[in-house]
Structure 1
Amino acid sequence: MLKIAYVGFGKSTNRYHLPYIQQRLDKFDVTRIYAPTLGKRPLDQAALEASGTRFTSDFTDILNDDALDLVVVVTPAPTHYQLVKQLLLAGQNVLVDKPMVTTIAELDDLLQIAKAQHCFLMPFQNRRFDSDYLTLQHVLQAGYVGRPVELELHMDHYRPTAGQLTGEQIDGTWYGHGVHLVDQIVGLFGRPEAATYDLRATRLTQATIEDQFEVNLHYANAFKATVQSTELAVTPYPKWRLVGTQGTFIKTTVDQQENDLKAGIMPGMAGFGLDAPQAYGHVTYYNQSGDRIEKDLPSIQGDYGRVYDNVYDVLVNGQTQLVTDEQMQTTIEILSRAFDEKGPHTEQLN
């Protein structure tokens, strides 16, 4: 059993991490939690303390705990780099919430320290286990649409009054939402040859931080993947739209895990994370006989806890980690190079 600690005890820790750990108590023991201010979530804290978890407001307690097998950093994004660096230098294995860093130089620094210290380091890319992503992956592997030509991936909301006037590069929508979308594309197709960027502030047009983006990732064989997000979509685009030489796949709705977690429906409960049949993706394609086929594809059930399954397999069984160093570097490079110049522009990545 791996002894783990959490750095941060806010919404994300309690919503996206601990509910999945509760389904894996044969593999993980939450022994410590660091929170700068204790008592902000008294009921959650009391429940964990009753099961043996020790809370602290002193970060050095985590740094100096040689009994820990893994530290999970779930704090605001601008704090990640310095916290993770301190943990790695202390010899701790680290799983860190997204985005891990702002620049490729920061990432390279952390990777070099992790290698020198023989430590595990990986971002918590839980959306590799979205049901819609897993279903799209199946469509590609099954060859329904033939050779992929164009893929659109959206993360749209309607939050018209939540615009932010100023902030750092890592605080914008591109890093906040784009890190998931880019990682999903890189996980499927690897490193693109070039990227074309269009980042804009649309709710507060005088803002210095973007809240909308459209980024095209260009690959060999005439393939293009577009990742896009807006906070002004009363009616959102389909989540996925894949066009190939033999067919098209469309998945309109998003994975249901987040909605269920917000509603208090937890992993392990009946129906958790399951799509209703009307939310299934739809594929239209031509088979080898030239027949036009249309059918709904039941969604493959997602499970964010599979990130932890991978961490366990890496640390205990020596298996390959879910997000490789090269994938981390590609994702952070794509994110950071959006700011090489202002306005729409293209960057060669090879």
Structure 2
Amino acid sequence: MKTLNIAIAGSGYSARLFHVPFFKTDDRFRICKVYERSTERAKAWLPDVKIVRDYAELLTDEIDLVVITTPNQTHYAMVKQAILAKKNVLVEKPLVATSQQAMELNELAQQHHVTLYVYQNRRWDSHIATAKEILQKGLVGEPVDCEIRMERYAKSKNPKQWKETGEQGTGLMYDLGVHLIDQAVYLFGKPQAVFADIRSQHEDSVVDDNFDVHLYYANGLKVSLIASKYVRETNAQFALHGKLGSYLKAKADQQENLLINGIVPVGNWNAESEEWWGILHTEQDNQVVRYAYPNVATSYRALFDNLYANIIENAPQLVDIEQVILVLNIIEKAFASAKHGQKVSI
């Protein structure tokens, strides 16, 4: 078994919570270096790691994979530099701010025969993985409506100042919207059109912090994607309605909370009890049934499994870059829809 030598750019929330715990518990990966401009935060959870002050120091010969967890505005230049150094890249979402930049980087990665992988981990949320199975089994019939939410309560603006600058690639659409749209594309494919209401609710905010995005499909399906920072009492996080029945999951996936609380992501680390399962209310064998539908076994580790298999065995990427480009294109069309108050074709 080949061990991949890793260099990480950034030592913030994303690196500490969503990447390092999985790498540390997987013999297929070895964290060798972390790039921090002035701090040494990584030493708290990687006491023996080498801290470098120059990003170029991550791109040395022994490094197989560069993991980029820095602010969105830095992604394009850092990904491009890593690809030109012939390094495989795992980059936090969003890949970049525009679909054009994403297409350029994808082409560059293909030219240099390296992997470009985007950390769209929310495909492996419990409700999304379970809904995928329900759709594949046809348990609700032909889908007609779906609503996916990411709702939080935050009285103040984001303490991460780079998220509040107003630059392209910042704001809630590029934070949570990129997850929700990716989930919709993963479940249902490419929509035909989008209509969006994108707002700023925090006082003096220069970025969006609330949105209601509707995706329309050729078969009549509508997918509604909703996020806000002013929701203390949340609605059902996921609702899928079809011509036979419905699947609703009230509670959000708990992987992020478990990682925050220091749970080590090994084994059955994120299994949810039955009270957290969603409800399937449908027709089976000509009878109406309603019961708690067991969650599909899922974990963010599946992304790292696929990343490794892609680099080592050239296995197909589950987070395909063409889908990443589509998600960014939908975000661009959503902003155009919100600006002009009309449905926009995709």
TM over 0.5: yes
Structure 2 counterparts to residues 1-350 of structure 1, below 5 A: 1-25=3-27, 27-46=28-47, 49=48, 53-63=49-59, 65-162=60-157, 166-204=165-203, 207-268=205-266, 272-289=269-286, 291-340=287-336, 342=339, 344-349=341-346
Q: Confirm or deny: 8 A CA contact 1:257 1:302 kept in the other structure.
A: no
SS at match of 2:45: helix
| Kept after mapping to 1: 8 A contact 2:9/2:70 | yes
Task: Determine the C-alpha separation between the residues in 2 that align with 1:187 and 1:286.
Answer: 25
Q: Does the CA contact (< 8 Å) of 2:34 and 2:42 recur in 1?
A: no
Distance 1:294 1:339 in 2: 39
Between the aligned partners of 1:17 and 1:103, the Cα distance in structure 2 is 24
Structure 2: how far apart are the matches of 1:116 and 1:268? 36
2:41 maps to amino acid: K
Q: Equivalents in 1 of 2:97, 2:243: separation in Å?
A: 37
Structure 1 residue 165, shift from structure 2 partner: 6.7
1:338 Cα deviation after fit: 2.4
Give 1:167 shift: 1.5
Distance 2:107 2:322 in 1: 13
The sequence identity of aligned pairs, in percent, is 33
Gap runs ≥5 in structure 1: none
- Asked if the contact 2:40/2:51 (under 8 Å) is kept, the reply is no
CA 21–165 in structure 1, closer or farther in 2 if over 3 Å, else same: closer
How far apart, CA to CA, are the structure 2 residues paired with 1:261 and 1:207? 30
Please tell me the residue identity of whatever aligns with 2:177: G
Residue 20 (structure 1) shift: 1.0
Question: C-alpha deviations, 1:23-74, integer Å up to 9, x for none?
Answer: 211x11112221112423442242xx1xxx32211211112x1222111101
| Aligned counterparts of 1:201 and 1:231: Cα–Cα separation in 2 | 10
| Preserved CA contact (<8 Å) 1:21 1:305 | no
Structure 2 segments unaligned to the other structure (5+ residues): none
- 8 Å contact kept, 2:6–2:65: yes
What secondary structure is seen at the aligned counterpart in 2 of 1:177? helix
Say which SS state the counterpart of residue 251 (structure 2) adopts.
coil
Q: SS state of the match for residue 212, structure 2?
A: strand
Contact 1:211/1:230 (<8 A) preserved: yes
Distance 1:295 1:89 in 2: 53
Report the residue type matching 1:12 in the other structure.
S
Q: Secondary structure at the match of 1:195?
A: strand
Contact kept? 2:196, 2:335, Cα under 8 Å: no
Give runs of ≥4 in structure 1 deviating > 4 Å.
Answer: 163-166
Return closer, same or farther for 1:165/1:332 CA change in 2, 3 Å cut-off: closer
CA distance in structure 2 between the aligned counterparts of 1:61 and 1:208, rounded to whole angstroms? 35
- Separation in 2, partners of 1:96, 1:15: 14
